[in-house]
Amino acid sequence: MDLLGTRIGGYVVHRLLSDAGGMGTVWEARHHLEPKRRAVVKIIRPELLPRVDMVERFLREAVAGMQVKHRHLVEIYDVAQLPDGRPYILMEFLDGGDLEGYL
């Protein structure tokens, strides 16, 4: 599903970062009033929505992330649902490489 231009929690979806994950897709978004302020939106795959166990797992990941604050972890800004019912996680954008690249 193409989400480009969709407004999510005060941010507008700007580009797809990854659709390789098993749980969902990851998008870069920019704040609608301050475009230099970026965030990441992780959205569960639509085909997983009927699977209650997968939705619960996705939400547990978000809740766990919200409870842990550390300078080496991304900050979770929000957890909510799109109009079609898919949950999403809105989080801090970190510019740079991925963990695999550092290892």
SS (H, E, C) 80-97: EECCCCCEEEEEECCCCC
In a domain, 39, yes or no: yes
98 pLDDT higher than 70: no
7 pLDDT higher than 70: yes
In a domain, 2, yes or no: no
Give per-residue pLDDT as tens, 13-33: 999 999 987 889 999 999 999
In a domain, 100, yes or no: no
In a domain, 102, yes or no: no
Number of domains in the chain: 1
Domain holding 88, by residue range, is 7-94
CATH code of the domain in which 27 resides? 3.30.200.20
In a domain, 24, yes or no: yes
User: Which position has the higher pLDDT, 1 or 67?
Assistant: 67
Contact yes or no for 30/37 (Cβ under 8 A): yes
**Per-residue model confidence (pLDDT) at position 95:** 82
In a domain, 32, yes or no: yes
Contact yes or no for 91/76 (Cβ under 8 A): yes
Prediction pTM value: 0.87
In a domain, 63, yes or no: yes
